[in-house]
Every structure is written in C-alpha cells, then in structure tokens.
Structure 1
Amino acid sequence: MNVSHEVGLLVEEIQRLGSKNADGQTSVKFGVLFNDDRCANIFEALVGTLKAAKKKKVLTFQSELLLQGVHDNVDIILLQE
C-alpha cells in the first residue's frame, strides 16, 4: 500500500470533516474521523495512517496512540493543507 497516497486521502477527509480552529488550521476530532462511514470504507488501518502522517509532519495530535472511545475528543490538526 502506498503510504503517501493514504496520507493524501486522509488530508482530504480531514478537510471534508474538519473546521478551522483559532489558528486557522483545519482540525477534526478523532471520534468524528473514526466514526465516519466514508473513512471506514477508505482506511483499513486509520490509526496507522494517522501515525504515518504524524511522522511525516503532515498533521499532529496530542497522544502517542489513539483509541476509539478513549480518545474521541482528541483534536487532529493539519499542519499542511
């Protein structure tokens, strides 16, 4: 699987579901992303794609690992639009 392609799709989905925060960056809650039907169909391993995107500094979030339920209110913030 092409990681760059997956990360690009993830950026599109965050832009679709998210909104601008006070700093003008696009942000979405992990729970919104995780529970979206379209994202569920696109991403086999959403958390893995999020970690890869964070490592590439495309986005950031305030947790080492994101778990559904526990981290639903964690903001995922795009660093590159």
Structure 2
Amino acid sequence: MADQTQVDHEVQLLKEHIKRLGTKNANNQYVVKYGVLFNDDTVGNVFEALMGTLKSAKRKKIITFEGELLLQRVHDNVDIILLQE
C-alpha cells in the first residue's frame, strides 16, 4: 500500500492542479474536465498514477466525478469537481 503521507501529498497537488486548470462553477467550486487534467504536461510529470490519486481524493470526498473509473479519450468530457479547497 502507498505511504499515506505520499498519498496526502499527491491529493494536495491534485487540488492545486484542479484550481490551476479549472474554472469556478455556479456553486463557486473549481471544475476541470478529465481530458484537460489528463493531457496537461505538468500533471503528467507529477502523477505516476493519476487515476489512483483521483480515486483516493474521491474516497476522501475532496473531489467528485461521475462513475468509478475515468479513461483517457472515453471520459475526456467528465467534470472533476473540487469539493474541498
């Protein structure tokens, strides 16, 4: 299992990238499309397993998105919503 400190650190980085790449919705929450996040060079260089970090953040109710798993191209238009800044 991944070291919890590392997971927390990656979730924190994920939050920063969602804010950097996303826009605010009507509820004043940052939203980014999965494709935008996945295809960002910086995100690609930072996260070894982006989906693992997304699932971990979703479990902790830091973000939300439709479905269980997001796949490149198939789910590029799925919104990832930041619930906790």
| Shorter-chain TM-score tier | over 0.9
Deviations 1:5-27 (A, max 9, x none): 00000000000000001111100
Alignment gaps of 5+ in structure 1: none
TM-score (norm 1): 0.97
1:15 aligns with 2:12: no
TM-score, normalisation: structure 2: 0.93
Task: Choose the corresponding residue for 2:79, options 63, 75, 79.
Answer: 75
- Decide which of 44, 51, 57 is 1:53's aligned counterpart: 57
Structure 1 residue ranges (4+ consecutive) displaced by more than 6 angstroms after TM superposition: none
Consecutive unaligned residues in structure 2, runs of 5 or more: none
Tell me the residue number matched to 2:28: 24
- Count of residue correspondences: 81
Quote the Cα distance in structure 1 between the aligned partners of 2:78 and 2:12: 21
What CA distance in whole angstroms lies between the structure 1 residues aligned with 2:11 and 2:29?
17
Q: Deviations over 1:15-43 (max 9, x none)?
A: 00000011111000000000000000000
Paired residue secondary structure (1:6): helix
How well do the aligned residues superpose, as a CA RMSD in angstroms? 0.7
- SS at 2:28's partner residue? coil
Q: Deviations over 1:41-72 (max 9, x none)?
A: 00000011000000011000011100000000
